[in-house]
Amino acid sequence: MPDVLVISDDVAGEKMAGPGIRAWELSRRLAEYFRTALAIPDYSPGLPSEQGGKKMPFDLARYAVSRPAPLRQAAEDSRVVIVQGYVLSKFPFLKNIAAHLVCDLYVPFPLENLFVHRRMTPAFGDRVSIHLHDLAVFNEQLVHGDHFLCANERQKDFIIGALLALDRVDPGAVDASPSLDGLVSVVPFGFNDDEEVCSGDMVLREVVPGIGKEDAVFLWGGVLSNWFDPLTLIRAVGRAAAIDPRIKLFFLSTGHPNPLLPSFDMAAEASRLSDSLGLTGEHVFFNRGWVAYARRGAYFREADAGVYAHGDHIETRFAFRTRVLDYLKHGLPILCTEGDSFADLVQNRKMGLVVPCGDTEAMAQAILTLAGDAMFREECRKNIAQVRPLFTWDKTAAPLVAYCRDVLDGRISKGRKPDRSDLAAVTGIRKKGVIEKVARRRLWFLARKLPPGLVARIRRVLKALGWQP
């Protein structure tokens, strides 16, 4: 019987992307202090322990949407349940469990999906319907969660604004935690210092046809999601390679390990652009599979720099680029476009180069600088070494560990959550009759004359009678 149950919405195991990695690694850290279980989708691939021979420190269970009973029982036996993504929507019984419900909102999926379906869904009405569904799923977590996780201070501001709009930032929440740290914890993505399973064999240089031992290798370490901009980068590589033929760009994956997710249009578009420019196989390379989690480090160790690029849009502002953590772990100088929180960190701590979004020429010049200036790369590595300790999983998971300990020790009780009448009142959707409108104006006049405590009692009485003043 676990104290803490983590439910991953994405596949986890031998091959996993950001959400699965996060659920897996947070479970590892929580298991150092509490009895912890991790529930993963039943279609997840093989497990890292099967490859590395290490015993998992947490219990592992597979769940299926069609068979919710085991997950329901595990949730009812736990005292803290941590969910992410669409889990609460898939298993609505989690809204009413006795355990403290922690919603991990580090992926602002309503913003991501605005850009996913901008390309994938041609009918505007369908895009609107999908967006309304995403908002419903997101807001459902904000209404029913007891605590919320995000990945950086920008996301915290974003979530607090959303919570305020749904009456979750109320007098009780502020009395309990004036800074709202008791409601929202900043838990960045992290990395661990464990060495991955590695044979020592090369995986890129003189292995991938076209990438030589002395080439300058730029590695894109994550997927090619639709909100990214690999197109500007590919064009920039073409310009830079005309000056320095050693320049090579390697995309670690063009797909996703979750078989239920559709392919990304941007990945196909990037491949077509590279082909049309004659760069594929010469200066731009695409790994069509997915690298196992325990073996991904071999690719980062052979690279000279890590790179990513995105557009100037709302997703960028609130994003947390999870695979950048692998760049930090392996000391790779970073080349990125401006706008997200990591770009600020790269620029302020001199860990690489930041260029404007969509600026091919600036990107090409930055590529040439990183490829040709070994002293600059070494300076970046030294600066990265200063930042690395801030992003180990032990450090980043600490606020979540503290919250779970407070719950298990009885120092935190469940706070007030808005009911239907509260939500109707704050969204202004409930219609008011003429008498009620007049009464509201009179009550507002009295509220300025009467003591605040008496006004609050009058409001409670009226609400009990079915009228939200």
Here the CATH number for the domain that contains residue 339 is 3.40.50.2000
| 72 in any annotated domain | yes
232 lies in the same domain as 153: no
169 lies in the same domain as 296: no
| 46 in any annotated domain | yes
CA-closest candidate to residue 325, choices 5, 12, 21:
21
Which pair of structure tokens corresponds to residue 268? Answer: 């196909």
| 273 in any annotated domain | yes
Confidence of residue 441 (pLDDT cuts 50, 70, 90): low
Dihedrals phi, psi of 61, to nearest 5 degrees: -135, 150
Confidence of residue 453 (pLDDT cuts 50, 70, 90): low
8 Å CB contact between 38 and 27:
yes
Beta strands (DSSP E) in 320-406 are 334-337, 352-355
User: Residue 49 pLDDT > 50, yes or no?
Assistant: no
Return the sign of the alpha-carbon dihedral for residues 14, 17, 18, 23. negative
Total tally of structural domains belonging to the chain: 3
* Domain end among 391, 422, 444: 391
225 lies in the same domain as 121: no
Confidence of residue 51 (pLDDT cuts 50, 70, 90): very low
402 lies in the same domain as 385: no
Q: Could you give the angle at the alpha carbon of 68 between the alpha carbons of 62 and 71, nearest 5°?
A: 55
CA-closest candidate to residue 277, choices 227, 238, 223, 220:
238
255 lies in the same domain as 283: yes
148 lies in the same domain as 227: no
Range of the domain at 70: 4-190+394-408
| 201 in any annotated domain | no
140 lies in the same domain as 234: no
39 lies in the same domain as 156: yes
| 197 in any annotated domain | no
| 419 in any annotated domain | no
- pTM of the full predicted structure? 0.86
44 lies in the same domain as 181: yes
345 lies in the same domain as 404: no
Average pLDDT over residues 327-356: 96
CA-closest candidate to residue 7, choices 42, 45, 33:
42
322 lies in the same domain as 369: yes
Tell me: the pLDDT tens digits for 248-290? Answer: 999 998 776 666 666 778 888 999 999 999 999 999 999 987 7
286 lies in the same domain as 373: yes
